[in-house]
Amino acid sequence: MEPFSSPTPEAVAAHQLLIWPGLGSATALGLFRALGGFERAFSAPLAEIPERWRALLRDCRAQGEAAMAASRVALEPLLERGIFLLCLADPGYPALLRETSSPPPLLYGCGDPGALALPGIAVVGSRNASRGGVEHATRFAAALAGSGFAIVSGLALGIDSAAHLGALKTGITVAVVGTGIDRVYPRQNLGLSRDIVAAGGVVVTEFPPGTPPLAGNFPRRNRIISGLSLGVLVVEAAPRSGSLITARQALEQGREVFAIPGSINNPLARGCHQLIREGATLVETAEDIVGQLGGMLAFKYVEARDGQAVASPVSAEASRVLSALGHDPADVDLLVARTGLPVAGLTAALVELELAGRVEHRDGRYSRLA
């Protein structure tokens, strides 16, 4: 999928709510849920606006089209660089993230937004990782990416960087950052961010352009890392670390949590041991994760006897989705209603069918190819 050349009116409206002083993400999400869209915040009669937000919106709305036009002009340089905007109202918004309790109203991204629809596994851990931790993160990420998962991490130093680099060897990786999309933090990872995009991955953030690396942004972005993923792997983490915050957010979102054990003499193993005591799955190899989430993986092509490439047999869930799809295009919501599958399982089955050449995804809907 090519990056979006122009944001939807809903995305521009969401952007306007995010950047207006006194509003922001929580208000934008509340208005979206109350009114059914971001544009309605600017067009609905004030009497229909919930009272707690009415005064905040009054000044913003007074600027009217002039403010919206100024926002579009300010975004133009970013759009020319391939930056895309993807809001909750857009059909391409990642389904797994949409189902969380506090999805970001708007994602700013660079790269292929289609990567956000792949079944993801987050790989997180300490910025001050040990050599062994870096090796574990690189090896696990490479194996999981090669199995069909997108590796999701935070572009930080240490475990995050190792996870992205491992994934680049065999597949796709997604970086969720705590700054504006026009900034790279830390600067040492500028080249890595470019490599992620060049390899078909994506860098995304919920923070408007120009946002600096404020300390409070990173715990917020962690819920997006787990929200985009089917499970979270913690490689090394100290107690009370950001990685443990991500793991606990994953549990709240109904995701699987995995942890790699370490030496009792390694302070960075204590967070993983704590998670394991609290119920996280202890893993020693990437196959341990694949074994638990194997139904989410896409199958690869095999060679037929006549030398022609044919799709390998698909899983039972994928076959169920294919039958429910029929011969007319359908979106995710319709397929959820037809199959009764949870969104995460449905998304994984659709990715399996896409990679097997059985369905095509276009304009937010899926069509049967074979």
Domain residue extents for the chain: 9-78, 113-296, 301-368
Three-state DSSP class for residue 93: coil
Q: Where are the alpha helices (DSSP H) in 171-293?
A: 190-198, 217-227, 242-252, 270-277, 286-293
Say what the pLDDT of residue 334 is. 87
Which pLDDT value is given to residue 294?
64
Beta bridge partners of 257: 232
Q: What is the DSSP letter of 298?
A: P
Query: What pairs with residue 175 in β-bridges?
Result: 153, 203
pLDDT of residue 1: 37
The one-letter code for the residue type at 111 is G
Would you state the pLDDT for residue 157?
A: 96
What pLDDT does 6 receive?
81
What pLDDT was estimated at residue 209?
93
Rounded distance between C-alpha atoms, residue 70 and residue 285, angstroms: 52
pLDDT at 313: 56
Say what the pTM is: 0.78
How is residue 24 written in tokens?
A: 């922001």
Q: Identify the sign of the CA torsion 156, 162, 164, 165.
A: positive
Domain 301-368 has CATH 1.10.10.10: yes
pLDDT for the residue 330? 87
The predicted structure's pLDDT at residue 77: 86
> Where does residue 22 fall: left (phi above 0), alpha (psi -120 to 50 degrees), or beta otherwise?
left
Under DSSP, the state recorded for 108 is: E
Please state which CATH number belongs to domain 113-296: 3.40.50.450
Can you list the pairs that 322-330 forms with residues at least 24 positions away whose Cβ atoms lie under 8 Å? 322/353, 322/358, 322/359, 322/368, 325/359, 325/366, 325/367, 325/368, 326/368, 327/368, 328/367, 329/362, 329/365, 329/366, 329/367, 330/365, 330/366
pLDDT for 181: 96
Per-residue pLDDT of the chain (370 residues; tens, 9 = 90+): 344 458 899 999 999 999 988 888 999 999 999 999 999 998 899 889 989 888 888 877 877 667 667 777 778 888 888 899 999 999 889 989 998 999 999 999 999 998 998 899 999 999 999 999 999 999 999 999 988 899 999 999 999 999 999 999 999 999 999 999 999 999 999 999 999 999 999 999 999 999 999 999 999 999 999 999 999 999 999 888 889 989 999 999 989 999 999 999 899 999 999 999 999 999 999 989 988 886 555 433 222 223 333 344 567 778 888 888 877 888 888 888 888 887 767 777 787 787 677 887 776 678 887 5
